[in-house]
Amino acid sequence: MPVKEAIRIARGQGLDLVEIAPGAQPPVCGIVNLGKYLYELKSKEKEMKKKQHTTQMREIRFSMNISENDYQVKLNKIKEFIGQKDRVRVGLRLRGRQILHKNLAMDIIKRVISDSKDIAVPEGPPKTFGEGRQTIQIMLLPK
C-alpha cells in the first residue's frame, strides 16, 4: 500500500502510522496508537531486565587451621553461590609463621577445588598476593 494512503487511513481513525519492522523487505508498518505502543515496548523491556541475572563476585576466606565442620560450612556456601551463577573468589591468608608452610595452604586450596569440581571450574592456577606472599587466591566459575 502506498505510504500516503496508509497515513490517510491512520489519520482517519485518529491513530498513527508506525514503522514496526524497518529491516524487513518491504518495511512493515502498522496503524497503532503511538503512546500505547511505546508504553508496551518499555514494559516489555522492563520485564526482560527483571528476568536477566547479573553475576556477582563473592568471596570466601579460609584460614590455615580450619576445622572440618567450618570447612564444610564454607564449602556449602561456595556451592550455594555457584548455584546462583555467581563467581567465587576463594582466599587463604597466611599469618606469621604460617608463611613457612605454603604447601599446606596449597593443599587446602586444592581440596576446595576438588570438592567443588562437579559444579565449578577454576579460572586459573592459584595465585599468591601481598607483602611476603601472604594471601593465596583462586577464582571459581560456574560450569
* Residue that is written with C-alpha cell 562437579 in the block: 118
140: which strand partners?
A: 88, 122
Q: Is the whole-model pTM more than 0.85?
A: no
Q: Which pLDDT score is estimated for 132?
A: 58
CB atoms within 10 A of CB 133: 12
Q: Which pLDDT score is estimated for 131?
A: 65
Query: Taking Cα atoms as reference points, which of 53, 12, 15 lies closest to residue 33?
Result: 15
130 pLDDT higher than 80: no
Q: Identity (one letter) of the amino acid at 39?
A: Y
Cell matching residue 1: 500500500
22 pLDDT higher than 80: yes
Structural domains for the chain: 3-51 (3.10.20.80), 57-142 (3.30.110.10)
109: which strand partners?
A: none
93 pLDDT higher than 80: yes
Mean pLDDT across the chain = 88
